[in-house]
Amino acid sequence: MNYNGLRKLEGDLNILDIQARIGLSKLLLNERAISEIIEKHAIGILSKYYHVEASLKGKPYDLIIHNGKSVFINIKTESKSTSVKHDAIWMCSESVLRKMSKELQENLYYILIEYLHNRSIKVINVSIAGPANSIMDNIIVYDKVTSEMTNMAGIHVKFKICKFYNGIHAYILKDAFKKLEVVSG
């Protein structure tokens, strides 16, 4: 896969000067809203760079890059402006992971965009993990009802994660992500 578009993403997002405070009273957007804004801009930038279209809602990926074979991209974000530090990033519901086709598992990559925010949003790191089938050792599953956390082998583990999702969900440990060196221009 050609990573040049992904490597340029950090700089291209920062050029946009995305505002975290809006309106006359300069209200600070919540992290969910900021995350959505970053993801939409990232999808737009990558769509233009790779000449692709964004995926349909409800899919476990945000866009598909056709480069001899289909490469699926899912964009994740994390604020570094909070004092809460998590060990893993939410991936998808456990049922989506379980039903994922072999082709998708072999070609699905996760992009993590880390950012700071005050008046505006500053992207500080872009990293990649995947394909999904190669990072299974770095995926954990959390069941909110039973409060059980296991790795993919079913062994109980303990990590700091965001637990506000209802049901059973999969998370990618941050150790699975590798930083992409920034390319300018």
Task: Name the nearest CA neighbour of 1 among 146, 166, 121, 128.
Answer: 128
Domain that holds residue 129: 4-178
pLDDT over 70 percentage in the chain: 92
- Rounded Cα gap, residues 159 and 165, in angstroms: 16
- Rounded Cα gap, residues 15 and 160, in angstroms: 33
Q: What pLDDT sits at residue 137? A: 95
Judge whether 183 lies within some domain: no
Judge whether 154 lies within some domain: yes
- Rounded Cα gap, residues 104 and 56, in angstroms: 15
Task: Provide the residue count of the chain.
Answer: 185
Judge whether 31 lies within some domain: yes
Judge whether 184 lies within some domain: no
Task: Name the nearest CA neighbour of 115 among 31, 179, 21, 1.
Answer: 31
Instruction: Look up the pTM and report it.
Output: 0.89
Judge whether 46 lies within some domain: yes
Judge whether 148 lies within some domain: yes
Q: What pLDDT sits at residue 184? A: 54
Whether 175 has a pLDDT exceeding 90, the answer reads yes
Whether 75 has a pLDDT exceeding 90, the answer reads yes
Judge whether 185 lies within some domain: no
- Rounded Cα gap, residues 94 and 38, in angstroms: 25
How many domains is the chain partitioned into structurally?
A: 1
- CB of 135 within 8 A of CB of 158? no
What confidence tens digit (pLDDT) does each residue in 32-71 have? 899 999 999 999 998 888 887 666 666 788 888 877 788 8
Judge whether 103 lies within some domain: yes
Query: Residue 104 sits in a domain of what CATH number?
Result: 3.40.600
